[in-house]
Structure 1
């Protein structure tokens, strides 16, 4: 099994180019990030070229303080599309393959209509990239528009864009839904990326409610060949938290 270091959580005390180098030195196969926009894309691209790692994905910006995305917020369409376009430009500049379009705190039919329209814009503006949507759990992100895999599947199927995919975050979906083996099997055709972290503490993927040896074996049996994103919160230095990695890489 291959793994990607999520540099929003891992080595987040380092500037992004240095975090990329640290992930390569630790043996990760790829990297991903949250919001890289304060770093010059040329420096990030140089670190990726130096290490040979691929940047799998990045997020659209959250918006104002206290917000968690803009793309499902009625009345904020122009701002949301500007941030989508900004993410697309940054992704292209560093050779990143996917963009997570963050919905934000919203509910109701108007929010759904706005989110659908903004996703359509993203998919059309960057047909060569994967556009990801991610259900977030109601404990960590109360009021977030997208909370369930079924809701995401409906958005994907009705959108009709081949490049719109599901971010299958095992941490969030275990909290909201559980039954992850069957969900992986059923949703495989629309999954664009998989992330892991322990439940319920979002720590290293070697304890808690989920057996990630089983999750990784399930992914292997489904033919998953892309790196799985390690998006957990380390306790202490990231380098000291990687004891889980050899066992899961061996699957």
Structure 2
């Protein structure tokens, strides 16, 4: 049976102990923690450890690491330098998540931003080594760069870092990939982490994603990592977690339903 967790950022700024309690009630075994550097990493690590939960990975905060302006880009890379140091203090040895600035859906212009992104990612991977770094593949409504596994593999080739892998997400693949399961198979051993939510960004089994095909693909490529569930509560503004009163309770219920659906599929 695969281990199942969730991203903590979906609960907004809720107290970590409350998030840990929700994760336990939902039947999860670990989390991907949001890289909020204002949090005490030692205390954060202890909260989840005391609840019997692993911290498998880190969702990064927004940082523009492909901007043509040197100052903007340097601040983005510096954030990751601080994130890596912060992650060391968590005590769980998590993977470092990485992606571009969410919401920058068009080039600034006048520069090869793909080359800039590859250079920045290579720097981040070198700072983290030998810790694994997983580059998350987003969709066209969140980024104009690296929206498919094929584009992700091209990024890995340009960056040339042995500790760098890809993080595909079933929700994003639902938008960008013509055949998500085939994309996972093409990614092969370069798939380092996997996120999932259904096509409506709801609980697993409540949209039209073919999870059986994707799980079979993960088995075929020997993916041994966790399944990180990342739903959003129904409501307006996809870039805001807060969907009104009770949204955190709705998210907890969605996680519990996702666990039951995944286990019912034999995973």
Contact kept, 8 Å, 1:60 with 1:83, in 2: the verdict is no
Q: Which residue of 1 aligns with 2:186?
A: 186
Cα RMSD, aligned residues only:
2.1
Contact kept, 8 Å, 2:185 with 2:220, in 1: the verdict is no
Moved over 4 A (4+): none
How many angstroms apart in 1 are the aligned matches of 2:162 and 2:189? 10
How many angstroms apart in 2 are the aligned matches of 1:183 and 1:177? 7
Please give the residue correspondences for 1:157-168 in structure 2 after superposition, counting only pairs within 5 Å.
157-168=157-168
Deviation at 1:150, TM superposition (A): 1.5
Q: Which residue of 1 aligns with 2:95?
A: 98
Contact kept, 8 Å, 1:3 with 1:28, in 2: the verdict is yes
Q: Which residue of 1 aligns with 2:230?
A: 231
Cα pair distance change 1:161/1:128, threshold 3 Å: same
Q: Which runs of 5+ in 2 are unaligned?
A: 235-246
Q: Which residue of 2 aligns with 1:7?
A: 8
Deviation at 1:145, TM superposition (A): 2.5
How many angstroms apart in 1 are the aligned matches of 2:40 and 2:174? 36
Are 1:205 and 2:204 counterparts?
yes
SS in structure 1 opposite 2:231? coil
Contact kept, 8 Å, 1:204 with 1:234, in 2: the verdict is no
How many angstroms apart in 1 are the aligned matches of 2:190 and 2:202? 27
Cα pair distance change 1:112/1:239, threshold 3 Å: closer
SS in structure 1 opposite 2:181? helix
Cα pair distance change 1:169/1:119, threshold 3 Å: same
Contact kept, 8 Å, 1:17 with 1:43, in 2: the verdict is no
Deviation at 1:20, TM superposition (A): 2.3
Are 1:151 and 2:148 counterparts?
no
How many angstroms apart in 1 are the aligned matches of 2:115 and 2:210? 37
Contact kept, 8 Å, 2:3 with 2:227, in 1: the verdict is yes
Per the normalisation by structure 1, the TM-score is: 0.87
Question: 1:33-78 deviations in whole A, cap 9, x for unaligned?
Answer: 333323211221111221232212223321xxxxxx3111112232
Q: Which runs of 5+ in 1 are unaligned?
A: 63-68
How many angstroms apart in 2 are the aligned matches of 1:240 and 1:124? 39
Q: Which residue of 2 aligns with 1:73?
A: 67
Question: 1:190-221 deviations in whole A, cap 9, x for unaligned?
Answer: 1111111111x211111222122332243234
Q: Which residue of 2 aligns with 1:45?
A: 45
How many angstroms apart in 2 are the aligned matches of 1:218 and 1:147? 19
Q: Which residue of 2 aligns with 1:128?
A: 130
Contact kept, 8 Å, 2:204 with 2:261, in 1: the verdict is no
SS in structure 1 opposite 2:5? strand
241-250 or 170-179, which deviates more: 241-250
Contact kept, 8 Å, 1:73 with 1:103, in 2: the verdict is no
How many angstroms apart in 2 are the aligned matches of 1:113 and 1:184? 24
Q: Which residue of 1 aligns with 2:140?
A: 138
Cα pair distance change 1:153/1:222, threshold 3 Å: closer
